[in-house]
Every structure is written in structure tokens, then in C-alpha cells.
Structure 1
Amino acid sequence: MADLRDIITAYGSGLARVAASYEADPALQEDLLQDILVAVHGSLPSLKQAESLAPFVFRIAHNRSVTHVMRQAARRKGDLPNLPEGQAETPEQLLLADERARMVTTAVRRLPLPYRQVMTLVLEDLSYAEIAEALDISVSNVGVRVNRAKARLREMLDAR
């Protein structure tokens, strides 16, 4: 059974990218990442199959991230937040050398939550089956969401 150090080593950068895909503010990203890691640590005893570790970890990450977005939206008393144009770059974006990659990251952050979830996991190289397990949806639903997310991303990127 993996411990938290193993999970941070294997998935730390991916979990940081998940947090960054839900939260633009660097300080809140760090808080979200810590919340994710605490939740993963607390949930490890319930992991039944070690080979399902990646979907297990990313499911917790996405669930915590969705909760975070909902809490932030409730605090602002508004709709689900989108990254406004001209938002300051996050640490994740600063690490991305390619301008196109920054544009894709911004576009993914602006996707509706169901599409953002699948695209974040696609970008982490999880299979459709692993994504389905992580999000508790069918593999065909993953495919539909990925296709719709890609179409929206194309629209956003072509509009620039």
C-alpha cells in the first residue's frame, strides 16, 4: 500500500496541475493542494485495489477541487468563476515556456466543470477507463465529454 510520500512523488505535480486548473490564485492553489493531500492521506485506508491508485487519487483531487470552486463561488455570491482576461500568470503558467501551452491552460480553466475534469485527467495521461473510474462516470461519457471539451477549446483558441 502506498503512503503519502509515494503519492506526492508519483502524483504531486499532477495534483498541483489539477489544483491550478480549478484555482487561478497561487495562494488558494496551494491551499487547495494541501486540502487534496490531506484528503488523500485520510482516504488511503479505504483504497481496495492498489492498481487503482491513480484514479483514486485524482477522484479525490477533483472532488476536493469542485468543493473548493463551489465554496469560492458561494463566497463571491456569484456564478462559477471563470478566469478573466488579463489575469496574472500562475506559477504553473510561468513554468510553461510555450505561449500556446499557456493559452491552452487558460482555456481549460474556463471550461465548465464536467469538461474541465476530463481534460485535466486527459492531460495527465490517464486512460478513458481510469478517468471514468476517477469521476464515477461511464467510459462512453468520458469520450463524449472529451470531444465536447475539445470542441470548446478549439472555439476558445480560434477566437484569439
Structure 2
Amino acid sequence: MLDDDQKSLFMAWLQEHSSAVMKVARAYTLTSEECQDLAQEILLQAWQSLAKFERKSAPATWFYRVALQTAMNWQRKDKPRRSLQKPLLEVQIISDSNFGIQQVQQQEVVDQLYKAISQLPKGDAALVLLYLDEMSYREMSEVLGISESNVGVKLNRAKKALNDLMKGTNDEH
């Protein structure tokens, strides 16, 4: 593939799949700064891996696979440092004119969900993210390299664990 072709393909895919990159990055990080760092790492890995894309799977599947593998590797390599460092305070400035009470509450639920997802084992977190992105079991199996039936079993377990974590999070407030 020529460099111009690669660049235009990458930019098109980035436009289509940037929300998936951010979802994955957010689920595997503690702070917004780490999220941005991981998102950049995912994009770098996707760019470097583009030449190896063999078109055996859908672009969305390939992009998710790169994002999840990068996030899992990043989390593993970065774990020693992160185990010593927890965010002191996540500050979000919310303008009353931009957000209503309902929107603030929805954002709190989303934040709780991502916090709970980050507490799941990495494979379960990956499954939940794919599920939230409304991928089929077949697509999930392609991204993760497991059978469709295994996706179903693991996803049910992950949903139960996530539900338990969400209940625990809500009990704290």
C-alpha cells in the first residue's frame, strides 16, 4: 500500500473508530491524562500495524483488536507505577448552562460504569467494551480470538461481575 493510500485509509478509519479508541483508553486508565496517553499509544500502534492488515476481518474488528491489545500491554507494563499512584482528585468543571441535573446524573453513572469496568479482569473488560459497542458475538470472537460460545459464557460472567461492582459502587454513595 502506498503511503498516501495508507494515510487516507487510516484517517477514514480514525474518523469511524475514534470513539472505540476512547472507550478502550478510558476503561484501562485512572485519569484523563492517562486516557489521553493511552489513546495516543493506541493510534500509534494502529498506524504502525496498518501495513500488516490483511483484510481478513472487518476494519472495525481489526481496529478494536489493536486498541485492546495495546491497552492490555500498556496496563501490564504500567502496572508497577500505577499501583503506587492513585488519583488524588478527579476534577470536572461542569457549567450549569451546559448541563442539566439529569445530564450530570447520567455522567455520574457513566463514570461509575467505567470505574467498575476498570476493576474487571482485562479479558472481561474487553468483552464488556465490545458488548457496549453493540458488536455481535461473532465480531467479539474475531476481535478476541475465542469461539462464539466462549464469548457468551464469558460475557455472562463479566456482566454479573460488572453488576456486582456497580451495586457496590452505588452502595458507597
- Normalising by structure 1, report the TM-score: 0.82
Matched positions, count:
153
* CA deviations over 1:77-114 (Å, ceiling 9, x no partner): x59x9x88x862689xxx97403332222211111111
| 1:87-102 mapped onto 2 (5 Å cutoff) | 88=90, 97=104, 98=106, 99-102=108-111
| Alpha-carbon distance in 2 for matches of 1:74, 1:50 | 36
Give the match for residue 7 of structure 1. Answer: 13
Q: After TM superposition, give the deviation of residue 115 of structure 1 in Å.
A: 0.6
**Greater mean deviation of Cα atoms: 22-31 or 96-105:** 96-105
2:74 aligned with 1:68: yes
Given the superposition, is the C-alpha separation of residues 90 and 69 from structure 1 closer, same or farther in structure 2, using an over 3 Å criterion? farther
2:129 aligned with 1:120: yes
| Alpha-carbon distance in 2 for matches of 1:31, 1:128 | 30
* CA deviations over 1:91-141 (Å, ceiling 9, x no partner): 9xxx97403332222211111111101001111121111111111111111
Find the residue that maps to 1:20 and give its secondary structure: helix
Give the match for residue 33 of structure 1. Answer: 39
- Normalising by structure 2, report the TM-score: 0.77
Q: Which runs of 5+ in 2 are unaligned?
A: 94-98
Q: After TM superposition, give the deviation of residue 7 of structure 1 in Å.
A: 1.4
2:28 aligned with 1:22: yes
| 1:42-81 mapped onto 2 (5 Å cutoff) | 42-49=48-55, 52-76=58-82
Give the match for residue 140 of structure 1. Answer: 149
Find the residue that maps to 1:39 and give its secondary structure: helix
Given the superposition, is the C-alpha separation of residues 87 and 132 from structure 1 closer, same or farther in structure 2, using an over 3 Å criterion? farther
Given the superposition, is the C-alpha separation of residues 123 and 6 from structure 1 closer, same or farther in structure 2, using an over 3 Å criterion? same
Given the superposition, is the C-alpha separation of residues 87 and 122 from structure 1 closer, same or farther in structure 2, using an over 3 Å criterion? farther
Letter in 1 for 2:62: F
Matching residue within 113, 121, 128 for 1:104: 113
Letter in 2 for 1:62: L
Q: Which runs of 5+ in 1 are unaligned?
A: none
Give the match for residue 96 of structure 2. Answer: none
